[in-house]
Chains A and B, each alone.
Chain A
Amino acid sequence: MIEVLIFATLNGLVTGLLLFMLASGLTLIFSMMGVLNFAHASFYMLGAYFAYSISLYLGFWPALIVAPVLVGLLGALIERYGLRRVHKSGHVAELIFTFGLAFLIEEAVQFFWGRATKDYRSPDLLDFPLFTLFGQNFPAYKAFMIFISIAIFIGLYFVLTRTRIGIIIQAAITHPHTVANLGHNVPLIFMAVFGVGTGLAGLAGVIAGPVLTTFPGMAMVLGSIVFVIVVIGGLGSLAGALVASLLIGLLQSYAIASDVGMPDLLAWLGISFERDHPLNDIWRLTLPQVAPILPYLLLVLVLIFRPSGLFGKRES
């Protein structure tokens, strides 16, 4: 029991922190643009594919640095020459632009790398069990993922709250006109934030690719969960994004690891059904089976009972 709990917590932490790397960028970009960037997870996918290709020639470690930088530069260019122009036509146009971009990137990935799953592996250096507990191994690569995510979180927090540029970014997001009047180039700041946000998504892709497999549908798989997180945490709230990421990561991980389901509940209630009952499939559902639905269920509940999200503020 204890070992299940420990491993479920560690795995939940890995997923949660990975989700946060995407959610933090998405929520910052949302506060800035006022619309959700539907292509955000596509930058995550690009990170994985870039890293795969680079690692074929230079190995994993150079890819870890180069791929996110390339993704961030691409993001900054897309903001400068795409979104900034579309912005003049309003939010709907921006939303549709990011939608189109998501499909474009997915098609491009299939065009250049094909539909098959890529053999993108974690580096040999980290290919050993970090520790063995109750006969179960915890891979060193997962510990590395946790380490990178926490380092990024601390770095982001430090830059945003302790440096002058971070203060300018915080202020520019909520009061762009005032900040421009104080002599700061707000469009440049926005481009940089977009670049860093997409770069972070790219980094998440680089480190997640070997574990969650690198295939053209990976953006769709993670993208929808990231939106759920940003909404649950409260649009525009970094703290909310962190809490919701960990919540979803742990929730899914515990649900998968748990060994309970409807049969246990029914037994506990003292109810039993015949094997040929028409709703037999429902009576036999287990928690691991419904784990993928839980985030969306949580989303619906949050939207009903707390529409602004856990940490969100309602615009007055």
Chain B
Amino acid sequence: MLEVADLHAWYGKSHILQGVHFNVAQGEIVSLLGRNGVGRSTTVKTIMGEVEPSGSILFKDQQIVGKKSYEIAKLGIGCVPENRDIFPSLTVRQNLLLGMKSSKGSSRWSIDEMFRMFPNLGERADVPGGVLSGGEQQMLCMCRTLMGDPELIMIDEPTEGLAPKVVEQVGELLQEIAARGVAILLVEQKLTIALKISHRVYVMGHGKIVYEGSPQELREATEVRREWLEV
């Protein structure tokens, strides 16, 4: 579904991505792991069209390099940014409305369904997003992206700063999303849920993919973990 090949990107003169290769298939959960500053978030931004790259990004066999962010989103890529970026003055319901790409409501996800899955959000439907807890904001942000009915969703550090119980909830939601045929690219620094729910994992270091394997293989590859992941 998503095929990234030989992707290079620069911030000014610094060469952030130095030939990144990876792919994600339909309904698959793939994790992109690595320490801070190795280019994980830049990879997401580049796919979203926010950073100008060289190389190739194929989505459903269509080249998306050079397209604008909203065009890429319309093709079916959703992005849940690291900073969550919910709209604090808009209510929970309005935040979800914002995620819909058209008012016709052809999405496989509906607002009522979101509220059924997350009674917490349902109870606070008319409360400004800014007063939600960190975990609720994360849920809201994911739900908002789902409202646009993406076929691939990229999530940057969804468990950052959340309580262990909420982290578990996030993991369950991701599995639920994947079960409905949506591909997930999970971008994480920590291994917490990544090893538990991913089908495949990639490890990034210095702007390149340095390891590729199954979660089980990575669990056993202590050498790789020591060199590229553990702090």
Q: Are the CB atoms of A164 and B103 closer together than 8 Å? A: yes
Q: Are the CB atoms of B68 and A182 closer together than 8 Å? A: no
Q: How far is the CA of A167 from the CA of B69 in the complex (A)?
A: 19
> Which A residues lie within 8 Å of B98 (CB)?
164, 167-168, 171, 179, 182
Given contacts A177-B50, A181-B81, contact A167 B70 (CB under 8 A): no
- Per-residue CB contact flags for chain B residues 33-60 toward chain A (1 = under 8 Å, else 0) read 0000000000000001010000000000
Q: Are the CB atoms of B81 and A178 closer together than 8 Å? A: yes
- Which listed residue, B97, B144, B148, touches A164 by the CB 8 Å rule? B97
Q: Is B100 an interface residue (CB 8 A)?
A: yes
Given contacts A181-B79, A183-B74, contact A170 B87 (CB under 8 A): yes
How many chain B residues have a CB neighbour from A under 8 Å? 24
> Which B residues lie within 8 Å of A170 (CB)?
87, 89-90
- Which listed residue, B50, B73, B103, touches A182 by the CB 8 Å rule? B73
Q: Is A118 an interface residue (CB 8 A)?
A: no
> Which B residues lie within 8 Å of A183 (CB)?
70, 73-74, 101, 148
Q: How far is the CA of A143 from the CA of B166 in the complex (A)?
A: 58
CB < 8 Å A-B pair total? 54
* Distance of A32 from chain B, by nearest CB (Å): 15
Q: Is A84 an interface residue (CB 8 A)?
A: no
Q: Is B113 an interface residue (CB 8 A)?
A: no
Q: Are the CB atoms of B94 and A181 closer together than 8 Å? A: no
**CB under 8 Å from chain A, chain B span 132-165:** 144-145, 148
> Which A residues lie within 8 Å of B101 (CB)?
182-184
Closest to A174 in B: B87
Q: How far is the CA of A181 from the CA of B87 in the complex (A)?
A: 14
> Which A residues lie within 8 Å of B78 (CB)?
181-182
Q: Are the CB atoms of A180 and B81 closer together than 8 Å? A: no
> Which B residues lie within 8 Å of A168 (CB)?
98
Q: Is A185 an interface residue (CB 8 A)?
A: yes
Q: Are the CB atoms of A171 and B148 closer together than 8 Å? A: no
> Which A residues lie within 8 Å of B85 (CB)?
175, 178
Given contacts A167-B90, A171-B90, A175-B87, contact A181 B100 (CB under 8 A): no
* Distance of A193 from chain B, by nearest CB (Å): 16
* Distance of A170 from chain B, by nearest CB (Å): 7
- Per-residue CB contact flags for chain B residues 70-108 toward chain A (1 = under 8 Å, else 0) read 100110001101000101011000100111110100000
Given contacts A168-B98, A182-B101, A183-B148, contact A177 B69 (CB under 8 A): yes
> Which A residues lie within 8 Å of B89 (CB)?
170
Q: How far is the CA of A180 from the CA of B48 in the complex (A)?
A: 9
* Distance of A163 from chain B, by nearest CB (Å): 9
Q: How far is the CA of A171 from the CA of B89 in the complex (A)?
A: 9
Q: How far is the CA of A178 from the CA of B98 in the complex (A)?
A: 10
* Distance of A9 from chain B, by nearest CB (Å): 33
> Which B residues lie within 8 Å of A171 (CB)?
87, 90, 98
> Which B residues lie within 8 Å of A174 (CB)?
87
Q: Are the CB atoms of B70 and A184 closer together than 8 Å? A: yes
Q: How far is the CA of A185 from the CA of B49 in the complex (A)?
A: 13
Given contacts A180-B68, A181-B81, A182-B144, contact A164 B100 (CB under 8 A): yes
Q: Are the CB atoms of A180 and B70 closer together than 8 Å? A: yes
- Per-residue CB contact flags for chain A residues 179-223 toward chain B (1 = under 8 Å, else 0) read 111111110000000000000000000000000000000000000
> Which A residues lie within 8 Å of B48 (CB)?
181
Given contacts A168-B98, A175-B85, contact A180 B90 (CB under 8 A): no
Given contacts A175-B85, A181-B48, contact A167 B79 (CB under 8 A): no
> Which A residues lie within 8 Å of B68 (CB)?
180
Closest to A185 in B: B70
Between-chain CB contacts (< 8 Å), 6 pairs: A164-B103, A178-B87, A182-B73, A182-B78, A183-B148, A185-B70
The residues of A with any CB-CB pair to B shorter than 8 Å are 164, 167-168, 170-171, 174-175, 177-186
Given contacts A167-B94, A171-B90, 18 further A-B contacts (CB under 8 A): A167-B90, A167-B98, A170-B87, A171-B87, A175-B87, A177-B69, A180-B69, A181-B48, A181-B70, A182-B73, A182-B78, A182-B99, A182-B144, A182-B145, A183-B101, A183-B148, A184-B73, A185-B70
Nearest first, the 5 closest Cβ-Cβ pairs linking A and B are A183-B73, A180-B69, A183-B101, A178-B85, A183-B74
